[in-house]
Structure 1
Amino acid sequence: MIVIVAGVAGSGKTTIGTQLAKRLGWRFADADGFHSVANVAKMRAGIPLTDEDRAPWLRAITSWMDDIEARGESGVITCSALRRRYRDDLLSGRPATMVFLEVSKEDLVQRLSHRYGHFFPEKLLDSQLAAFEPPDPDERVLTLPEDGGPAQTVDEIVTRLGLDPQPTA
């Protein structure tokens, strides 16, 4: 199984995804690492990505997911998954589910203003929010408010998805 932890920039994807993977004993990948050098440069320069920019990035994410599945492993990966068609492509034909972290714009601004060393500047938040299509009820997406802290959010994901953590040695 694969869990995709999704949300706009600053929603806590990496924090939640890392903790979830550790708790479950699963592999973890941060989708930020799948961006091309050109995409990172654009974002650093404050230029929003287009659908065309995101296409190879999304293919790299689905390739990672397919590799995990082919090896019979389970994994957690992060992805903004801003548009429905991105979510449909990520989930199509895969043993995957998506957890979308819902965070208020005020909290996103606060988090991004205190994040240092990341290529995604706070000034791009509005472009992500403009591109964002909230998940519809018919999508295979669990939407959770990310407001109780990472440990509580991970507990909620494990409970709601019925996931069993791996025993620790």
Structure 2
Amino acid sequence: MAGLLATLTLVPLAVAAWRDVAARLIPDQATLCIAALGIGLRAAEGLDALLASLATAAALFLLLAWAHARGAIGGGDVKLAAAIALGLPPLATGHFLILTALAGGVLAAGYLLGAALLPRPAPLRPSAGLLRRILAVEHRRVRRKGPLPYGVAIAIGAAFVHLQPLGG
């Protein structure tokens, strides 16, 4: 059961990451789904496990809300990270944060490299498909050194922790 809930979490994580790339928005529905799955996962392990995760998620939310108030992180990223923490033991939440930071560093390096190396994109045809339009917009964002879709790094950190448990 726990493995199934953890695996099911990958679907809304993918949705959140994709929407963050496409529109720099993380859908509340994906975040709520992750939170509900996480609560179910931790509740199945007992009340103490659930309470520990609730406390950890609340502390993470407050810390990231403080960072958001200073413009360091987006509001959707705050909610997504806290929702993920609901489904993890406190130690695994620490691993999640470290893996997210590492994934964010790789993402940032890719964006810096892309901004330096990518040529100017060709104009889009009106018949261009959704994926082509999203890629073109992302290409422009990279060249203009726009904000990173940090939800991607958050989703990668969470997926890694869910697929490769590192401890409880």
More helix by share: 2
TM range (shorter): 0.3 to 0.5
The normalised TM-score by structure 1 is: 0.35
More strand by share: 1
The normalised TM-score by structure 2 is: 0.35
- Structure showing greater relative contact order (alpha-carbon pairs closer than 8 Å, 6 or more residues apart): 1
Larger gyration radius, structure 1 or structure 2:
2
